[in-house]
Amino acid sequence: MPTVAMPDASAPAVAVRGLVKHYGAVQALKGIDLTVKCGEIFGLLGPNGAGKTTLFSILATLRTPTAGTACVFGRDVTIERDAVRRSMGIVFQEPAIEQRLTGRDNLLLMGLFYQLPAARARKRAAELLDHLGLTEAADRPARTLSGGQRRKLELARALVTDPSILFLDEATLGLDVDARRVFWGEVRAIAAAGRTVFFTTHYMEEAEIADRIALIDSGQIVALDTPRALKARVGGGVIRLQTEGDDQARAWLIERGLKPEAGGPGLMLVHDDPAAILPDLLRHLPVKVLRAEVHEPSLEDVFLKLTGRGLEMEGAAAPVRGPGRGRP
Amino acid sequence: MIRGIYAVVVLDLKRAWLDRARLLTGLAQPLLYLFVLGAGIGGSSRMGGPAYQRGIFPGVMGLSLLFTAVFMAISIVFDRQIGFFKAVLVSPLPRAAIALGKITSGAAQAFIQGLILLPFAPLVGIHLGIVNTAEMLAAMVLASMTFSAIGVAVASQFTSTTVFPIVSNTIILPMYFLSGALYPLAMAPHVMQVAAHFDPVAYAVDLMRGALLGTYFFPPLLSFAVLVGLITLLSWLGVRVFSRGEDDSVLGATGFRWRR
C-alpha cells in the first residue's frame, strides 16, 4: 500500500480540547481532552453508551459539539469540515455499502463522491480489492458476500480515497473471532503504511492492538495510556472469585486487610503475587467458592478498577446514553 | 458542485438500472388510461374515442412523468435508511449537490419513462414529426424537472415511506386531476379554469399538449416562465432543507432525519 502524505506534519492527527456534547438534558460528553499523534493506532474503549459514538460522530463531522473544539490534522471539524472530510476514511458500525451494487461499483462511486479522477479510482479500487483478497468477490452484489468480506469491503470503501486517517466505529461488531483477527490484521497493515487509525470498541482484546488507549466512561476519559502502562496500573495480577456469598466474602477479605475492588460481578482482587495467596484464600474463606481465576491484568480489569463497572458484562450500560445508540 | 450532482445521479441511475423492470411495469398505468379509460370515456362522449384518446395523450404523458418523478423522490426517504448514504454524508460532497442531484436523477428517470411512452403517440393518431417531437422532448424535460422538484420538496419533509399514499392522494392526485390532463381546460367550469392557474401540472401538461396538438390554454411563454420559476424556487428550498441536516442527532441507520 502506498504511504500517505500528511496534510500538516506538525499538527497532531486528532486534537480534542474540552469537548462537550449535550442532547437536551443528557450530557453525552462532559469535557473530553485527547491528542492522537500522526501514524498512531489509537483506541477508544468503553461500554455501550459511554459516549464513544458521540465523540466519534463529532470527529467524523456528523455532529457539532456543544462546546470545545476538535481538530483533525490541525483543521477544525466544524469550521473546515470539507478539508477534514477529505482527509479521512470512515468505517461505521452499520454497513455503509450499497448492498445491491457490486463491491467494485461501491468503491468507484466513492471515488466519484470524492471527485477522484476515474482512472485513479479504478486503479486504486483494483489494488485495494486485490490487497484485501476480494478480487473474486468484487463483481458480485455486495449482499452476497460473507460478513467478514463485507467488513473488508467497508475497509476498502473507506480507503479508496487514500485518507490520511482511518476512523473505525465498532467496526467488527457481529463478526466471528476469525474474521475479527483478519480485519485487525488489515488495520495494522494500514497503520504500518503510515496512516493514523482511530477506533472505538467495547471488546478489550481488540483494544490491545492500539498504541495508546483512552478509556471512556459516562462521557469522560478515565485513563489514557499505552495498553501496557494501563495494565501496570492494576499491578501484579488479578484474582477473580465467584462465591455463594460475595458480600460476606468481601467483608472477610477487607477484615484480612485485603482490598477487593468495588462493584462488578463476583469479586476482583488485585495483588502483587496472586498465585501465592490464592490457596490460603480458598482454604480460609468462610463461604463456598464456586469459581476461582488468576490472570494477568487485562484492560477489562483496568476498566473495572477505575470505574467499578465491566466493559462487556451485562448491565454494563452506563446511565448516559447518547441518542442514536442502541436504538431498535 | 456539478461533479457532485453527477455523482448523485450516477448512484441513483445505477440503482435504478437494477430495477429496470419497473420501466415496463411503469408503462402499464398510462396505457390503461390511454387505451381503456380513454377509449371508454371517449367512446361514450360526443368527441368519440379516437379524438379523445388523441386529446389526452399529453395528459397521460404528464401522469407517467408525474408519478415516476414523485415515486423516485420518495427514495430519499429510503436513502436515509441505507447505510451507503452515511458514507455520502461524510464525503466532501456539498449538501446542495445532494439535493440538486436528487432532483436531476428523479427527472432523468421520469424522462426515460416518458421516452418509452412517446412511441405510442402515433397509435392514437398523433403524427410525430421532427419539429413537434423536439418541442415535445423539451416540454418533457421541463415537466420532468418540475415534477421531480415537487417530489423532492415534498419527500424531504417526511421521514417515513408509509406517508407516500397520503402524499399521493392529498397533493399529487388533486394537482393531476385539476391540470386538464384528462379533459380540455378550455371547456372546464370557470372555477376550475381559475384554479388551474395555480396548478404547476396544468402548465406542464399544457406545454406538452401544445407541442403535440398545437393548441395551448396558457400562453407557452407563461408556462415556460412558471415552470422554470418553480424549478428554481423548489431547488433552492431543497438545498436549504438538505443543508440543515448537517448536525444530526439521530444518525442511526434506522432513523436518519434531515431535520432536527
pLDDT at A132: 87
Cα first-last separation, chain A: 38
CATH code assigned at A189: 3.40.50.300
In a domain, B252, yes or no: no
pLDDT at A122: 93
Instruction: Assess whether A180 and A267 both reside in one domain.
Output: no
Yes or no, beta carbons of B7 and A112 under 8 Å apart: yes
Nearest by CB: B91 against A57, A63, A113: A113
- Number of CB pairs, chain A paired with chain B, less than 8 A apart: 91
> What's the Cα-to-Cα distance from A224 to each of A46, A143, A259, rounded to whole Å?
12, 38, 24
Instruction: Assess whether A266 and A137 both reside in one domain.
Output: no
Q: How many helices (H) and strands (E) does chain B have?
A: 12, 0
Q: Tell me, yes or no, if B92 comes closer than 8 A to chain A by beta carbon.
A: yes
B110 pLDDT higher than 70:
yes
Which of the four pLDDT bands, split at 50, 70 and 90, describes residue A319? very low
Nearest by CB: B252 against A61, A88, A324: A324
Yes or no, beta carbons of B84 and A96 under 8 Å apart: yes
| Percent of chain A scoring above 70 in pLDDT | 91
Least Cα separation, residue B113 to chain A (angstroms):
22
* Nearest of B198, B193, B99 to residue B151 by alpha carbon: B99
In a domain, A6, yes or no: no
Domain extent, residue B59, equals 2-243
In a domain, A216, yes or no: yes
Domain boundary residue among A178, A206, A226? A226
A206 pLDDT higher than 80:
yes
In a domain, B138, yes or no: yes
CA A224, distance to chain mean position in Å, is 13
CA diameter of chain B: 61
pLDDT at B81: 66
How does pLDDT run across B38-84, given as a tens digit for each residue?
888 888 877 777 888 898 999 999 999 999 998 888 877 777 666 77
Q: Tell me, yes or no, if B86 comes closer than 8 A to chain A by beta carbon.
A: yes
Full DSSP string of B59-94: HHHHHHHHHHHHHHHHHHHHHTTSTHHHHHHTSS--
How does pLDDT run across B169-202, given as a tens digit for each residue?
888 899 999 998 988 888 889 999 999 999 999 9
Domain extent, residue A49, equals 14-226
Residues 6 or more apart in contact with residue A158 via CB below 8 angstroms: A89, A90, A91, A166, A167
Query: What's the CA gap between A281 and A276, in Å, rounded?
Result: 10
Instruction: Assess whether A53 and A202 both reside in one domain.
Output: yes
CATH code assigned at A259: 3.30.70.790
The residues on A that touch B, with CB distances below 8 Å, are 23, 57, 60-64, 82, 85-86, 88, 90, 92, 94-98, 100-101, 105-106, 109-110, 112-115, 157, 323-325, 327-328
Between A150-159, A309-318, B98-107, the lowest mean confidence (pLDDT) is in: A309-318
Instruction: Assess whether A247 and A210 both reside in one domain.
Output: no
Q: Tell me, yes or no, if B41 comes closer than 8 A to chain A by beta carbon.
A: no
Least Cα separation, residue A113 to chain B (angstroms):
6
CB-CB contact of A312 with A205 (8 Å): no
Q: Rg of the Cα trace of chain A?
A: 22
In a domain, B260, yes or no: no
Mean pLDDT of A177-187: 87
Query: What's the CA gap between B229 and B207, in Å, rounded?
Result: 15
Yes or no, beta carbons of B250 and A324 under 8 Å apart: yes
A contact test, residue of B2, B10, B95, B249 with most A CBs within 10 A: B249
pLDDT at A7: 52
pLDDT at A108: 93
Instruction: Assess whether A96 and A242 both reside in one domain.
Output: no
Asked whether the CA dihedral A261, A266, A267, A270 is positive or negative, the reply is negative
Cβ atoms within 10 Å of B241's Cβ, excluding its own:
18
In a domain, B206, yes or no: yes
* Nearest of A244, A215, A218 to residue A305 by alpha carbon: A215
B256 pLDDT higher than 70:
no
Which of the four pLDDT bands, split at 50, 70 and 90, describes residue A63? confident
Query: What's the CA gap between A45 and A208, in Å, rounded?
Result: 10
Q: Tell me the three cell numbers of residue A147.
A: 460478513
* Nearest of A67, A68, A84 to residue A76 by alpha carbon: A84
What does pLDDT average to over chain A? 85
CA B172, distance to chain mean position in Å, is 10
Say if strands A237-243 and A267-271 run parallel, antiparallel, or are unpaired: antiparallel
In a domain, B249, yes or no: no
What does pLDDT average to over chain B? 85
Between A7-11, B26-30, B98-102, the lowest mean confidence (pLDDT) is in: A7-11
CA B46, distance to chain mean position in Å, is 31
pLDDT at A97: 87
* Nearest of A101, A59, A99, A96 to residue A81 by alpha carbon: A59
Q: What's the total number of domains in chain B?
A: 1
Query: What's the CA gap between A28 and A320, in Å, rounded?
Result: 6
Say if strands A212-217 and A41-45 run parallel, antiparallel, or are unpaired: parallel
Q: Residue A43: in which H helix or E strand, if any?
A: strand A41-45
Yes or no, beta carbons of B15 and A88 under 8 Å apart: no
Cβ atoms within 10 Å of B254's Cβ, excluding its own:
11
Domain boundary residue among A203, A226, A249? A226
Query: What's the CA gap between A318 and A29, in Å, rounded?
Result: 13
Burial environment of residue A151 by CB neighbours within 10 A (0 to 12, 13 to 18, 19 or more): buried
Q: Tell me the three cell numbers of residue B145.
A: 424537472
pLDDT at A263: 64
How does pLDDT run across A70-89, given as a tens digit for each residue?
999 999 999 998 899 999 99
Say if strands A75-76 and A67-72 run parallel, antiparallel, or are unpaired: antiparallel
pLDDT at A124: 92
pLDDT at A232: 84
pLDDT at B259: 35
Residue A45: DSSP 8-state: E
CA B221, distance to chain mean position in Å, is 20
How does pLDDT run across A115-171, given as a tens digit for each residue?
899 999 999 999 999 988 888 888 999 889 988 889 889 999 999 988 999 999 988
Instruction: Assess whether A52 and A186 both reside in one domain.
Output: yes
Instruction: Assess whether A207 and A285 both reside in one domain.
Output: no
Locate the chain A residue with the closest alpha carbon to B95. A82
Nearest by CB: B252 against A105, A110, A327: A327
Q: Tell me the three cell numbers of residue A237.
A: 495480577
Q: Tell me the three cell numbers of residue B34.
A: 390511454
In a domain, A315, yes or no: no
Query: What's the CA gap between A130 and B141, in Å, rounded?
Result: 43
Q: Tell me, yes or no, if B253 comes closer than 8 A to chain A by beta carbon.
A: yes
Q: What's the total number of domains in chain A?
A: 2
| Percent of chain B scoring above 90 in pLDDT | 47
Instruction: Assess whether A200 and A278 both reside in one domain.
Output: no
Residues 6 or more apart in contact with residue B35 via CB below 8 angstroms: B53
Between A32-46, B102-116, B132-146, B152-166, the lowest mean confidence (pLDDT) is in: B152-166
Instruction: Assess whether A121 and A170 both reside in one domain.
Output: yes
Which of the four pLDDT bands, split at 50, 70 and 90, describes residue B249? very low
How does pLDDT run across A26-53, given as a tens digit for each residue?
889 999 999 999 999 999 998 888 888 8
* Nearest of B85, B84, B99 to residue B1 by alpha carbon: B99
Choice between A110 and A300, residue whose per-residue pLDDT is larger: A110
In a domain, A147, yes or no: yes
Yes or no, beta carbons of B15 and A90 under 8 Å apart: no
Instruction: Assess whether A192 and A245 both reside in one domain.
Output: no
Instruction: Assess whether A40 and A180 both reside in one domain.
Output: yes
* Nearest of A223, A236, A190 to residue A209 by alpha carbon: A190
CB-CB contact of A119 with A127 (8 Å): no
Q: Residue A198: in which H helix or E strand, if any?
A: strand A196-201
Which of the four pLDDT bands, split at 50, 70 and 90, describes residue B153? confident
Instruction: Assess whether A120 and A173 both reside in one domain.
Output: yes
Cβ atoms within 10 Å of B31's Cβ, excluding its own:
15
Residues 6 or more apart in contact with residue A194 via CB below 8 angstroms: A3, A4, A39
Nearest by CB: B247 against A64, A90, A113: A64
In a domain, B87, yes or no: yes
E-strand stretches of A264-309: 267-271, 289-295
